Structure 1
């Protein structure tokens, strides 16, 4: 279900992410106090990231890409906030330039320290790496179906 670049202007990437992963669970963290989180971190956070955390909660896409529940500021001196990571030590970040967090681009800090920029937001980036076998950080080559593995204990 790849979306071509011409078609993506009005795409609801969170809805796409739900479809791609087959997610039908209710929101896992609907009560996050984002004002409190953002006051501790400094900047406001991108709205699609907040929707991802509220929708999916703690866990990993395809059991591989860990969605961080509160961005790390470890790379703040490089202008990066970390919102996800992989077991291969790639860090998925935003370049926190400008006052509008919904316009911050995704940057992948690879395990070897290289920064690879992408002109999109977090939810779009996750959708693309799940379904596009030609994406440089693709998971589409490894899995035919995609899921979100919740770390929340059931019961």
Structure 2
């Protein structure tokens, strides 16, 4: 497990730690989440690092920064199109990329979800906004933020003056988000979704995240 203390030393968390019902978040996503991300989300809440890096949060105030919102699926669809058509080189299978954040300039920050069933081993990738360049960081999300905000790692896509005023975190306006927006409902039986999907001709991996189109089709079938 990544130690959050290195990050909080250089960039103190501005709010008391919050409670997040992770079982509901993971059920909504259909996948387990890295332990370091859970610590990060609980201690920092929704907001932005250096007024530039926005990490998706279960209580993100808008759909553009909400972990369980539509953005990860939308961005994966764009990547799949680029991957299939060769518009821009995508160095990883889009099904193994899950968007976990973005920047004010339009870059996206991804988990490389490999191995799919070992989220604490997921690495980080950053793509170039409106361009072909990719950057890979061999570590967790908290490791990535700590390294970038301490100046140890310079992401080519990020502005050179990112740390001109030092590391900082600005929380989202508290009136824009509720403490528990994740529906309080029983966890979804992912085994049942996989069985239904295979019976209806979908190609579903035996472990890891269930593709969004399968989840949506299953929900329509059972609505």
Task: Please classify the TM superposition score into its range, dividing by the shorter chain length.
Answer: 0.7 to 0.9
Contact 2:135-2:155 within 8 A present in 1 as well: no
After TM superposition, give the deviation of residue 108 of structure 1 in Å: 0.9
Q: Within 2, Cα distance between the matches of 1:47 and 1:134?
A: 22
Contact 1:66-1:85 within 8 A present in 2 as well: yes
Q: Within 2, Cα distance between the matches of 1:54 and 1:22?
A: 13
For residues 76-109 of structure 1, what are the alpha-carbon distances to aligned partners after superposition, in whole Å with 9 as ceiling and x for unaligned? Answer: 7501111111011111111112110000111112
What does residue 121 of structure 1 align with?
140
- 1:1-155 mapped onto 2 (5 Å cutoff): 12=3, 14-23=4-13, 25-27=15-17, 30-69=18-57, 70=67, 72-73=72-73, 74-75=75-76, 78=94, 79-98=96-115, 99-111=117-129, 112-132=131-151, 135-137=154-156, 141=161, 142-153=163-174
TM-score by length of 1: 0.79
Q: Within 1, Cα distance between the matches of 2:36 and 2:2?
A: 12
Deviates more, 1:32-41 or 1:136-145: 136-145
Q: Secondary structure at the match of 1:23?
A: coil
The total of aligned residue pairs comes to: 142
Q: Within 1, Cα distance between the matches of 2:31 and 2:2?
A: 26
Contact 1:46-1:101 within 8 A present in 2 as well: yes
Q: Secondary structure at the match of 2:155?
A: coil
For residues 16-68 of structure 1, what are the alpha-carbon distances to aligned partners after superposition, in whole Å with 9 as ceiling and x for unaligned? Answer: 111111335311xx221111111121210111111111111110001110121
Answer with 1 or 2: which has the greater Rg.
Answer: 2
Deviates more, 1:139-148 or 1:53-62: 139-148
Q: Secondary structure at the match of 2:111?
A: strand
Structure 1 runs of 4+ aligned residues shifted over 6 Å read none
Q: Secondary structure at the match of 2:101?
A: strand
Pairwise CA RMSD: 2.4
Contact 2:49-2:170 within 8 A present in 1 as well: yes
Cα pair distance change 1:43/1:11, threshold 3 Å: closer
